[in-house]
Amino acid sequence: MARVLMTGFAPFGGESVNPSWQAVSLLAARRDDVAAVELPCEFAASLPALRRALVEHRPSLVVCAGQAGGRSEVTPERVAINLIDARIPDNAGARPVDAPVVPDGPAAYFTTLPVKACVAAIRAAGVPASVSHTAGTYVCNQVFYGLMHLLVTEFPGVRGGFVHVPFSPEQVAAAGKPEASLSVDRIADALEAVADTALRVTEDLAVSAGAEH
């Protein structure tokens, strides 16, 4: 069984690729201790698919990744909120507004990844990174919140969290826009740094990663 479960998403929003899945699958090809699972970018299907992956692989660590177009860095997420408010439809055409991820669930969950140590490790690997305090309100946040809820309620002792990644250069070239991007190889390097750090670090760095707004 794989020690680390990593997930990425199928392409969405008219894109032909999703760098989160490309990087996760690349990393799994590098390492025998990583299992890669592609999640559908669909509100109704994403969490059942994630739960099946947890049952199948029984990992000790889970790192879910998703695309965050417009961001220039790899950004481990600190907190997931119990809210879905979709700006665009998902791949099944659903567009829920002001819905909870888990009815009557807690308002939020914090990651159990050492996000500040992970950022330091990503930067040491030569990849730009910072801690993020919002995972949005789309399927990425739903999966992040749903993951943490599953770990609390069904898979105690397993640590996990979520990482957002920028567009890949091929996406930027296809769109013809001057967006920030990172190669899939470098994103995979960053995710590997996250996994290695989370496997060995249990107490996060006592450094500021606060935001001004």
30-47 confidence digits (pLDDT tens):
999 999 999 999 999 999
Residue 178, pLDDT above cutoff 80: no
Q: Assess if residue 188 is contained within a domain.
A: yes
**Higher pLDDT residue, 177 or 49?**
49
pLDDT score recorded for residue 54 = 98
Q: State yes or no: pLDDT of 213 exceeds 70.
A: no
Q: Is residue 210 part of a domain?
A: no
> Would 208 be classed as within a structural domain?
no
Annotated catalytic residue: which of 41, 64, 118, 140? 140
Distance CA 150, CA 109 (A): 11
pLDDT tens column, 104-116: 999 999 999 999 9
Tokens of 63: 């790192």
Q: What is the predicted pLDDT for the residue at 207?
A: 86
- Packing angle between helix 184-200 and helix 19-30, nearest 10 degrees? 60
164 catalytic per annotation:
yes
The pLDDT of residue 180: 84
Please tell me the predicted confidence (pLDDT) of residue 17: 94
Residue 167, in any domain of the structure: yes
Determine the Cα–Cα distance for residues 107 and 145; give it in Å rounded to an integer.
Answer: 10
Q: What DSSP letter does each residue of the chain carry, written as one string?
A: --SEEEEEE---TT-S--HHHHHHHHHHHH-TTEEEEEEPS-HHHHHHHHHHHHHHH--SEEEEEEE-TT--SBEEB-EEES-B--SS--TTS----SB-SSTT--SEEE-SS-HHHHHHHHHHTT--B--BS---SSHHHHHHHHHHHHHHHTSTT-EEEEEEEPBPHHHHHHHT----B--HHHHHHHHHHHHHHHHH--S---S------
In a domain, 209, yes or no: no
- Domain contains 206: no
Query: What local confidence, expressed as pLDDT, does residue 208 receive?
Result: 84
Q: What is the pLDDT of residue 147?
A: 98
What separation in angstroms does the CA of 112 have from each of 14, 103, 192, 208?
32, 22, 17, 17
Q: What pLDDT shows up at residue 174? A: 85
Catalytic residue check, 133: no
Check pLDDT > 60 for residue 198.
Answer: yes
Closest CA to 43 of 106, 87, 104, 78: 87
- Any catalytic annotation for residue 77? yes
Q: Is residue 212 part of a domain?
A: no
pLDDT for 1 beyond 60:
no
Catalytic residue, chosen from 77, 118, 149, 192, is 77
Do residues 63 and 159 lie in contact, with contact meaning Cβ atoms separated by under 8 Å? Answer: no
CA distance 69 to 86: 16
For the chain, the domain total comes to 1
pLDDT band at 69 (very low <50, low <70, confident <90, very high): confident
Q: What is the mean pLDDT of residues 114-127?
A: 98
Q: Is residue 75 part of a domain?
A: yes
Which one of 38, 64, 164, 192 is the catalytic residue?
Answer: 164
For residue 211, pLDDT over 80 is answered with no
- Find the domain containing 36 and state its range: 4-200
Stated pTM of the model: 0.95
Backbone dihedral region for residue 115 (phi beyond 0: left; psi -120 to 50: alpha; all else: beta): alpha
pLDDT value at position 2? 67
Query: Is the pLDDT reported for residue 82 higher than 60?
Result: yes
